[in-house]
């Protein structure tokens, strides 16, 4: 039997889902979270947050709690394989955008979000795997879980990641596309680099032969660094195959060490001793551009709607933009409600959500465009040709989300 109708039901208690719950709570919109796992997904070590996302996390009262936990920086540095600086990329700026960038372990961010969700009294049900939508009307939607139970809400939001099951309701045949790029990462103490305190970090060192090697400090004091290498891989695996490859630590260590003699000494130092515990493998998938992120009372956001390649480091940052603006738009529509007519209500919410999706997609498109520009700068010929003009990042970091919400919900 379906449970009584709640306001917004969120499938997935990952970064998007948990933050969405807090954003809705701030707007006095009741919600509930359902997560298929025993705990929220914790993959890939640390993530980098830029001012656009940090502004949102600040508005939700999250920033003050996470700021002491992470490593603050402003620029990403790019070097050639003979260790010459060729480019920089602004990831944050205290003076220009009010926030330095923050690199923080995903589990630390999740812990803060989970405890805030608990303190707010928002229910979270773990081991609840969404399977499919059973029925949908102008006023509610009912769906099923893998354990045979079902539930009903006014809005169902799929924040269930790149392999989203909720997305199947909108696009039954869509499967994310493998980009033939993978990244393998590990964690080593900073002192292992044997680089002086003035060596610019985070750095990406680009080899025409072996791809990009990344070194990025983490922990509040920068005492450990992520080391990572990206390169092409022709073969695609299924999920079990990727897991097996990640568990093959010898393969991962060999991948990280391959060609290190052709990089500057800092790379050879970085890979001398690689603890197996912190190794991660990240196959880069993308979700093709979708015409719509909503069907009736079912909406998708975060990676479910637009998983994007990691070049500009915007994956999770764009997900935070989705959730904040989504909650704002839904609250505005509620505040403007003029009658109890379900049909009219459905028309108004679907119009506002269409505006929201088009506005958000336009920003995601600009990020994809930035990815392309950055990829071009990383081509061997471009690297050889020399130093580049810095990008103006104001369009990405300096936006007013509340103004966007007002426009989309009007
Ligand atoms: C190894 C790795 C490293 C990464 N590093 C970075 C980085 O440094 N910077 C960056 O910006 N991005 C990074 N990304 C991308 C980033 O992880 C995503 O953009 C981000 O996690 C998206 O958040 P999300 O909440 O939308 O999805 P997810 O984080 O995937 O969360 C989805 C949640 O939904 C749950 N779920 C899934 N299916 C169901 C179901 N049927 N029923 C109920 N619950 C379900 C999952 O268990 C999970 O908890 C990385 C990705 C990987 C794989």
DSSP code for 388: -
Burial 52-81 (b: 16+ CB within 10 A, else e): bbbbbbbebebbebbbeebbbbbbbbbbbb
The HSE-up count of residue 103 (CA atoms within 13 Å, CB side) is 25
What confidence tier does 10 reach under pLDDT thresholds 50, 70, 90? very high
Q: Given 3.90.1150.10, 3.40.1520.20, 3.40.50.10260, 3.30.9.30, which CATH number is that of 180-285?
A: 3.30.9.30
Helix and strand numbers (H, E) in the chain are 15, 18
Report the distance separating Cα 63 and Cα 57, nearest Å. Answer: 5
Ligand 1 contact via 9 beta carbon (within 6 Å): no
Helix axes 51-59, 315-335, angle to 10 degrees: 40
**pLDDT at residue 180 is higher than 50:** yes
Q: Is 65 in the pocket of ligand 1 (CB under 6 A)?
A: no
Which helix (H) or strand (E) covers residue 205, if one does? strand 203-207
CATH topology of domain 6-71+104-176+287-408: FAD/NAD(P)-binding domain (3.50.50)
Residues of the chain with pLDDT > 70: what percent?
Answer: 98
Residue 1 has pLDDT above 50, yes or no: no
Is a pLDDT exceeding 70 seen at residue 327? yes
Contact partners, residue 42, CB within 8 Å, separation at least 6: 106, 107, 110
Atom of ligand 1 nearest to the CA of 128: 43
SS3 8: strand
CB of 26 shorter than 6 A to ligand 1: no
Would the CATH topology of 6-71+104-176+287-408 be identical to that of 180-285?
no
For residue 6, name the pLDDT band (cuts at 50, 70, 90). confident
Centre of ligand 1 to C-alpha 17, Å, is 10
Work out the average pLDDT over 242-247.
Answer: 93
Regarding the beta carbon of 12 and ligand 1, being less than 6 Å apart is answered: yes
The reported pLDDT for the residue numbered 2 is 47
Contacts of 70 (CB under 8 A, 6+ apart): 46, 49, 102, 103, 104, 105, 108, 218, 220
Task: List the domain boundaries for the chain.
Answer: 6-71+104-176+287-408, 180-285
Inform me whether the pLDDT recorded for 379 exceeds 50.
yes
Nearest residue (CA) to ligand 1, atom 50: 44
Residue 4 has pLDDT above 90, yes or no: no
Cβ atoms of 286 and 179 closer than 8 Å = yes
């Amino acid at each position: 039997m379906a449970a009584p109708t709640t306001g917004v039901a969120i499938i997935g208690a990952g970064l998007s889902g948990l933050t969405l719950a807090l954003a809705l709570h701030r707007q006095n919109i009741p919600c509930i979270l359902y997560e298929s796992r025993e705990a929220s997904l914790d993959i890939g070590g640390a993530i980098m947050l830029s001012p656009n996302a940090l502004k949102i996390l600040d508005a939700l009262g999250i920033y003050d709690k996470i700021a002491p936990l992470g490593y603050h920086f402003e620029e990403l540095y790019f070097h050639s394989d003979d260790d010459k600086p060729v480019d920089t990329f602004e990831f944050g700026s205290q003076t220009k955008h009010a926030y330095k960038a923050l690199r923080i372990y995903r589990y630390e961010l999740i812990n803060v979000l989970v405890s805030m969700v608990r303190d707010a009294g928002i229910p979270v049900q773990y081991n609840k795997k969404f399977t499919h939508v059973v029925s949908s009307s102008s006023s509610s939607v009912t769906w099923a879980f893998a354990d045979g139970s079902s539930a009903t809400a006014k809005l169902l939001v799929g924040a269930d990641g790149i392999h989203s099951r909720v997305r199947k309701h909108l696009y039954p045949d869509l499967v994310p596309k493998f980009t033939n790029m993978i990244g393998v990462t590990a964690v080593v103490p900073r002192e292992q680099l044997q680089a002086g305190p003035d060596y610019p970090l985070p750095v990406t060192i680009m080899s025409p032969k072996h791809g990009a090697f990344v070194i990025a400090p983490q922990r509040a004091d920068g005492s450990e660094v992520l080391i990572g290498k990206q390169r092409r891989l022709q073969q695609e695996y299924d999920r079990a195959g990727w897991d097996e490859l990640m568990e093959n630590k010898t393969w991962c260590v060999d991948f990280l060490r391959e060609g290190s003699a052709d990089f500057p000494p800092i790379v050879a130092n970085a890979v001398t001793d690689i603890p197996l515990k912190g190794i991660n493998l990240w196959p880069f998938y993308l979700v093709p551009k979708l015409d719509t992120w909503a069907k009736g009372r079912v909406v998708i956001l975060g990676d479910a709607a637009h998983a994007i390649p990691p070049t500009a480091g915007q994956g999770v940052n764009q997900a935070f933009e989705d959730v904040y603006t989504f909650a704002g738009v839904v609250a505005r529509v509620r505040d403007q409600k003029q009658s109890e007519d379900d049909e009219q209500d459905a028309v108004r919410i679907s119009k506002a959500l269409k505006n929201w999706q088009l506005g958000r997609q336009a920003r995601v498109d600009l990020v994809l465009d930035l990815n392309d520009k950055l990829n071009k700068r990383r081509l061997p010929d471009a690297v050889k040709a020399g130093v580049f003009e810095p990008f103006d990042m104001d369009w990405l970091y300096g936006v007013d989300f509340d103004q966007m919400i007002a426009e989309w919900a009007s």
